[in-house]
Amino acid sequence: MQVINIFFTWYFIQSDIGLLYIFFLLHLLLKSHFSGSTCPKETESVSLRQ
């Protein structure tokens, strides 16, 4: 699986569209990570329970 990821990364880097695609995936990963860890509804429910 790791070899496949490296191959696709090397393949996409050959083109500018590939770089944009990689940055787009990183953006989605960071966005989903931060939105999931700092969700206002979760913090509100936790504060109400305490």
pLDDT at res. 45: 57
Q: Roughly how many angstroms between the first and final C-alpha of the chain, as a whole number?
A: 44
* CB contact set of 18 (below 8 Å; sequence gap of 6+): 11, 12
Helix 16-37 × helix 2-13 angle, to 10°? 130
Cβ neighbours around 19 below 10 Å, total: 12
Measured distance CA(35)–CA(44) in Å, rounded:
14
pLDDT at 39: 53
pLDDT reported for residue 7: 80
- Position 47 scores a pLDDT of 61
pLDDT tens string 1-42: 678 788 877 776 676 777 788 889 889 988 887 776 655 555
Checking if the pLDDT of 49 tops 70, the result is no
**DSSP conformation class of 43:** H
